[in-house]
């Protein structure tokens, strides 16, 4: 039996009793969830994101008065004309409690969803008594309510004095956290472990190791000409981009687990003109940090070769925003603790590696062990079939509250190694 299990054996019934009151809030949380999912908070809708952020700031105000609203720099992205655009984002919220306590826990969640204002999917629809189909219900407004419930419970107990916590609610996770990553990583350095409220799988299982991810935009410039009169004067950007895209596809599995997907392309106005610009976007997933370095060098070499082709110019924008999350011994100890308490809640779970990324990657990249799928159970996220299993609003909050109480009583599941200093 591992150390976590041994400790739980002596304290589980007390702690399990302590987290029971969370269940009495189930119907309130369901009402709140419906209210929240019907506020559109697409990553590109800062107004809606701020409305959701203000809702949570107001809710957290009952347990902490150290609440900061932070304006983020705009998200820079290259559009299909090859022009860098500045996208305004919603605000990030930072809420702190007891920054000098012995154990410092960082809890994060995102306010944005993938559903734009123009989407027909804006309302909640109850599928069965226990299932709600709604935009962002599982990913992750339900998770944010779980986070809130867990901290409210902790604050209602005397054990809270042992725990300091920081909540970060960011507005840009669904687009890769381009503007919040720096704050996530800065906070990670002053905390002992991270809890993130991305949705779990329908059976409650967690994501384990995660691949890293890079997003890139490539602009291939050619030369316009009349397609009938003097095509020889033109340089066809579509043809050149197609060659480059096929060369990039060769990177798939060039290293173990490496995948490259060209997902978007735009070019041309009419068939009787040689197109002078083609813009395409691709994503690369990697298993190790070394892969990022290798890919970056490989891409630079490839692009420079295309710049040597007569009359063409290729430009590459973007990079690896998220490094892989690999499960080291601290992560394994943390996951084992989560498993122990899940068992005690009669919801045993396991974890598996995934190609998907989240802010857990960012925290792990600066050395903060974290478990990143502590949110609600649900499925079909990022689609109009997204649903949440409503009872998980309670039992997942109980799970998180148990983790916090355990740490308050018995310490971290691994040796404290924080070097960033307590603020
Ligand atoms: Zn999410």
Q: How far away, in angstroms, is 265 Cα from ligand 1 center?
A: 26
352 with 284, same domain: the answer is no
Q: How far away, in angstroms, is 410 Cα from ligand 1 center?
A: 31
Q: Is 80 domain-assigned?
A: no
50 with 162, same domain: the answer is yes
pLDDT recorded at residue 419 = 55
113 with 200, same domain: the answer is yes
Reduce the DSSP state of residue 294 to 3 states and report it. Answer: helix
Cβ–Cβ under 8 Å, residues 105 and 191: yes
192 with 218, same domain: the answer is no
Residue 182 belongs to domain spanning: 3-75+88-209+325-410
112 with 254, same domain: the answer is no
Q: How far away, in angstroms, is 173 Cα from ligand 1 center?
A: 7
pLDDT recorded at residue 421 = 45
Domain boundary pick from 307, 322, 337:
322
Domain boundary pick from 269, 297, 322:
322
How far lies 138's CA from each of 37, 143, 340, 360, in Å? Answer: 10, 7, 24, 17
Q: What CATH number is attached to the domain comprising 284?
A: 3.30.70.360
Q: How far away, in angstroms, is 408 Cα from ligand 1 center?
A: 28
CA distance 122 to 202: 22
Which run of H or of E encompasses 11? helix 3-19
pLDDT recorded at residue 108 = 98
235 with 183, same domain: the answer is no
pLDDT recorded at residue 79 = 93
Number of domains in the chain: 2
Q: How far away, in angstroms, is 43 Cα from ligand 1 center?
A: 11
Reduce the DSSP state of residue 313 to 3 states and report it. Answer: strand
Q: How far away, in angstroms, is 177 Cα from ligand 1 center?
A: 11
Q: How far away, in angstroms, is 232 Cα from ligand 1 center?
A: 50
Q: Is 82 domain-assigned?
A: no
Token representation of residue 196: 């993130």
Q: How far away, in angstroms, is 197 Cα from ligand 1 center?
A: 8
Q: Is 422 domain-assigned?
A: no
Q: Is 419 domain-assigned?
A: no
Q: Is 415 domain-assigned?
A: no
184 with 104, same domain: the answer is yes
Q: Is 190 domain-assigned?
A: yes
Cis check for the bond before 402: say yes or no (omega within 30 of 0): no
Q: How far away, in angstroms, is 409 Cα from ligand 1 center?
A: 30
171 with 218, same domain: the answer is no
Q: What CATH number is attached to the domain comprising 46?
A: 3.40.630.10
Q: Mean pLDDT in each 10-residue stretch from start to end of the chain (423 residues)? A: 43 85 98 98 98 98 98 95 95 98 97 97 95 98 98 96 98 96 97 97 92 96 96 97 98 97 96 97 96 97 91 95 95 97 95 94 96 97 97 98 96 82 44
Domain boundary pick from 305, 322, 339:
322
pTM: 0.91
Q: How far away, in angstroms, is 381 Cα from ligand 1 center?
A: 8
What is the Cβ-side half-sphere exposure of residue 416, based on CA atoms within 13 angstroms? 16
140 with 250, same domain: the answer is no
pLDDT recorded at residue 3 = 44
308 with 335, same domain: the answer is no
User: Could you tell me the sign of the dihedral formed by the alpha carbons of 199, 202, 208, 212, in that order?
Assistant: negative
353 with 282, same domain: the answer is no
Q: How far away, in angstroms, is 372 Cα from ligand 1 center?
A: 10
Name 290's Cβ contacts closer than 8 Å, sequence gap at least 6: none
Nearest-CA neighbor of 348 among 205, 216, 180, 143?
205
Q: Is 423 domain-assigned?
A: no
228 with 372, same domain: the answer is no
Token representation of residue 172: 């840009």
Q: Is 83 domain-assigned?
A: no
């Amino acid at each position: 039996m591992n150390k976590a299990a041994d400790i739980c054996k002596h304290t589980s019934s007390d702690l399990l009793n302590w987290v029971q009151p969370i269940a009495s809030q189930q119907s309130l949380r369901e009402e709140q969830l419906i209210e929240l999912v019907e506020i559109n908070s697409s990553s590109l809708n800062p107004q809606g994101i701020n409305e959701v952020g203000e809702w949570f700031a107001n809710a957290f105000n009952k347990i902490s008065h150290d609440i900061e609203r932070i304006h983020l720099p705009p998200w820079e992205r290259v559009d299909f004309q090859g022009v860098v655009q500045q996208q305004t984002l919603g605000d990030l919220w930072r809420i702190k409690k007891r920054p000098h306590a012995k154990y410092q826990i960082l809890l994060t969640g995102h306010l944005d969803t993938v559903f734009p204002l123009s989407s027909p999917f804006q309302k909640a629809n109850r599928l069965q008594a226990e299932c709600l189909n709604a935009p962002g219900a599982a990913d992750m407004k339900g998770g944010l309510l779980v986070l809130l419930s867990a901290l409210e419970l902790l604050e209602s107990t005397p054990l809270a004095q042992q725990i300091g916590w920081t909540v970060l609610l960011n507005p840009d996770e669904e687009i890769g956290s381009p503007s919040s990553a720096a704050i996530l990583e800065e906070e990670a350095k002053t905390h002992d472990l991270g809890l993130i409220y991305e949705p779990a799988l329908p059976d409650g299982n967690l994501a384990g190791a995660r691949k890293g991810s890079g997003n890139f935009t490539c602009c291939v410039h050619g030369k316009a000409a009349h397609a009938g009169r003097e095509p020889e004067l033109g340089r066809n950007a579509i043809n050149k981009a197609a060659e480059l895209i096929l060369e990039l596809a060769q990177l798939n599995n060039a290293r173990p687990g490496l995948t490259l997907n060209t997902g978007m392309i735009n070019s041309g106005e009419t068939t009787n003109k040689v197109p002078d610009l083609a813009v395409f976007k691709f994503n690369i997933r990697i298993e190790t940090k070394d892969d990022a370095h290798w890919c970056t060098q490989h891409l630079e070499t490839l692009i420079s070769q295309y710049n040597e082709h007569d009359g063409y110019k290729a430009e590459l924008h973007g990079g690896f925003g998220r490094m892989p999350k690999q499960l080291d011994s601290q992560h394994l100890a943390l996951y084992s603790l989560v498993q122990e308490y899940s068992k005690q809640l009669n919801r045993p779970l396991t974890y598996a590696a995934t190609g998907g990324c989240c802010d857990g990657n960012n925290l792990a990249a600066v050395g903060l062990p974290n478990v990143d799928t502590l949110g609600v159970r649900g499925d079909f996220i990022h689609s109009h079939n997204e649903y949440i299993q409503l009872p998980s609003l309670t039992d997942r909050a109980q799970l998180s509250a148990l983790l916090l109480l355990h740490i308050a009583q018995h310490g971290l599941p691994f040796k404290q190694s924080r070097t960033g200093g307590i603020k």
